[in-house]
Amino acid sequence: MVGLAGSMQHSRVCCHTSVTTSSSSAEQTVQCRLAADVGTLQRLPKVIGSRSLVNELCLTARRLGSQEALQCGLVSRVLSDRHSLLAAAISLAATIAQKSPVAVQSTKQNLIFSRDHTVQEGLDHMVAWNAAMLQSEDIMKAATASMDRKAPPADFAKL
């Protein structure tokens, strides 16, 4: 995470955000005599959950260090250095890449939908979504592998 305008917004729209111990971030749009207009004011309260902290950060442009960002839920992990950060990111990406692309994209889309809707709306959306996804061969392959106590095959359907 880079401590320039846009870094808060960047971490809001990413699926996963890891930083190094030396990282910091700030919403500095107020320094430019403007209100943030790229979604930070709308998304940040949902991510952090503390209206007081969001107000403080957005109204003062105060820098948020890596440990405080972890503590308030802005980031998922804090790693010691750039090398460790890169290794962890590659490992996470490799783990995700082993999953069905249809399942990964479906999960991402439904997490985003559920973030902005009630639990019941999210459940209703999921029912309709999964009905459409049942057409993918990935489900049968994964279910068969699970019953045989094997790892799911890596030859998943294309998006």
Share above pLDDT 70 across residues of the chain, in percent, rounded to a whole number: 78
Confirm whether 7-94 and 99-147 share one CATH topology.
no
What are the domain boundaries of the chain?
A: 7-94, 99-147
Residues 92-117: tens digit of each pLDDT? 999 998 888 888 999 999 998 998 89
Q: What is the predicted pLDDT for the residue at 87?
A: 94
Q: Which fold has domain 99-147?
A: Lyase 2-enoyl-coa Hydratase; Chain  A, domain 2 (1.10.12)
Domain 7-94, CATH homologous superfamily name and number: 2-enoyl-CoA Hydratase; Chain A, domain 1 (3.90.226.10)
Secondary structure of residue 19 in the 3-state scheme:
strand
Q: Can you give the C-alpha Rg of the chain in angstroms?
A: 19
Gap between the Cα atoms of 54 and 48, Å rounded: 7
Tokens 């090398």, residue located: 83
